[in-house]
Structure 1
Amino acid sequence: MIEVKDIHKSFGDSHILKGITTSFEKGKTNLIIGQSGSGKTVFLKCLLGLFAPEKGTIAYNGKIYSDLTDDQKRDLRAEMGMVFQGSALFDSMTILENVMFPLRMFTKQSKSEMADRANFVLKRVNLENAHNKMPSEASGGMQKRVAIARAIVNKPKYLFCDEPNSGLDPRTSIVIDNLIQEITEEYDITTIINTHDMNSVMEIGEKIVFLKDGLKAWEGSSETIFKTDNEAVTNFVYSSELFKKVRQMYLEEKG
């Protein structure tokens, strides 16, 4: 679990995060949503330890990040997996070498042990026959699955995903969503996804935090988001006619 208490973050005169308090549960897909400029990316970088809040605390399974020593922070980073928006694979490495990279950084395993582990997670994301390919030979969906394999190869306790469906077609996006949710449940990971994809919100949003102007404007689940009267949320989520119809159908079904 990750617990966030009253965090503030500024850059110069710009007050980006203005006192966010929330928690992200283990074994669930936790989503951060909001319009551009709402503070989502800064919030995610604070959770990753890349930005230090001026005020407030972030605790990982009860351990407050700002209280940790440098060695303890390094150990915590080894427990984090990250799926970047553009996959961020190394072009000069094979798919297998890309997945092995975190093991080289954070473990003392032998090359054969690292290769065995990398092949295991590649098989888990249905890429067991792609380990010798270069990233340029893989489709966008394959690259995202490689990025997920790399993120989980070191058996993380925390998985962070920044716009994992960016640039993917709707069908492939559903595959990636389902894969992330399956892995979250299977490995009992605390997963946090920064997304604009409303299909992800509806399909896998077990916990949703909606940010607006650096504040937590609402939180709930994919079911309760249908019921909310929060105007900021409804304006954001139901900006398209399709989702307006989906919400209306849901409310009529529930009576």
Structure 2
Amino acid sequence: MIEVKDLHKSFGDAHILKGISTSFDTGKTNLIIGQSGSGKTVFLKCLLGLYDFEQGEITYDGKVLSKMSVDEKRLLRAEIGMVFQGSALFDSMTIAENIMFPLQMFTKQSKSEMEDRVNIVLNRVNLTDAHNKMPSEASGGMQKRVAIARAIVNNPRYLFCDEPNSGLDPKTAIVIDNLIREITEEFQITTVINSHDMNSVMEIGEKIVFLKDGFKEWEGSKDTIFKTDNEAVTNFVYSSELFKKVRRMYIEENE
């Protein structure tokens, strides 16, 4: 579990995060949503330890991030998997080499042990014959699956995903959403996803934190988001006619 208490972050005179408190549960897909400028990316980078913050506390399974030594932070980093927006694969490396990279950085495994682990995670994301391909030879959906394989190759306790469906068609996006959810449950990872995709929210949003202007405006789940009367949430969620129709149908079915 990751817990956040009264988190504040500023850049000069710009107060970006304004007292956010929440928690992200183990074995669940936790989503951070909100409009552009709401503070989602800054929040994610604070969680990852990439930004210092002026006030508040972030704890990883009871260990306070700001009080960790350099060695403790290094150990924590080895327990974190990251799926970047755009996948961020190394163009000069094969898919297998991309996935092996975290093992070379954070472990002392032998070459054969690393190769075995690469085989396991490639099989898990249904890319059994992709070892020697270059990223440029892979589709957008395949690159995302490679990025997920790389993120989980170290058996992480925590998985962060920044807009994992960015640039994908709706069908492929659903495949990626379901893969992240399955891996989260299977390996009991604390997964945090930064997203603006309402399809992802409704597909895998077990815990949803909605930010607006740096505040935590609302939190709940995909099952409760239809019930909220919070105007900021409803304006965001039902900005499309499709979701307005879905909400009307939900209300009618539950009257």
TM-score by length of 2: 0.99
* Corresponding position of 1:216: 216
* Corresponding position of 2:91: 91
Cα deviation digits, residues 18-69 of structure 1 (max 9, x gap): 1000000000000000000000000000011101111000000000001110
Q: Using the alignment, how far apart are the partners of 1:54 and 1:159 within structure 2? A: 25
Alignment of 1:149-228 (within 5 A): 149-228=149-228
* Corresponding position of 2:134: 134
Cα deviation digits, residues 201-227 of structure 1 (max 9, x gap): 011000000000000000000010000
Q: Which runs of 5+ in 2 are unaligned?
A: none
The answer to whether residue 103 in structure 2 is matched with residue 103 in structure 1 is yes
Amino acid aligned to 2:23 = S
Percent identity over the alignment? 82
Amino acid aligned to 1:119 = N
The answer to whether residue 153 in structure 2 is matched with residue 122 in structure 1 is no
Cα deviation digits, residues 167-209 of structure 1 (max 9, x gap): 0000000000000000000000000000011000011000000
Residue 119 of structure 1: CA displacement?
1.1
The answer to whether residue 16 in structure 2 is matched with residue 30 in structure 1 is no
CA RMSD of aligned residues (A): 0.4
* Corresponding position of 1:63: 63
Amino acid aligned to 1:11 = F
Residue 253 of structure 1: CA displacement?
1.3
Q: Using the alignment, how far apart are the partners of 1:181 and 1:222 within structure 2? A: 14
Q: Using the alignment, how far apart are the partners of 1:246 and 1:232 within structure 2? A: 18
* Corresponding position of 1:44: 44
After superposing on structure 2, the runs of 4+ consecutive aligned residues of structure 1 that deviate more than 4 Å are: none
Amino acid aligned to 1:183 = I
Amino acid aligned to 2:223 = E
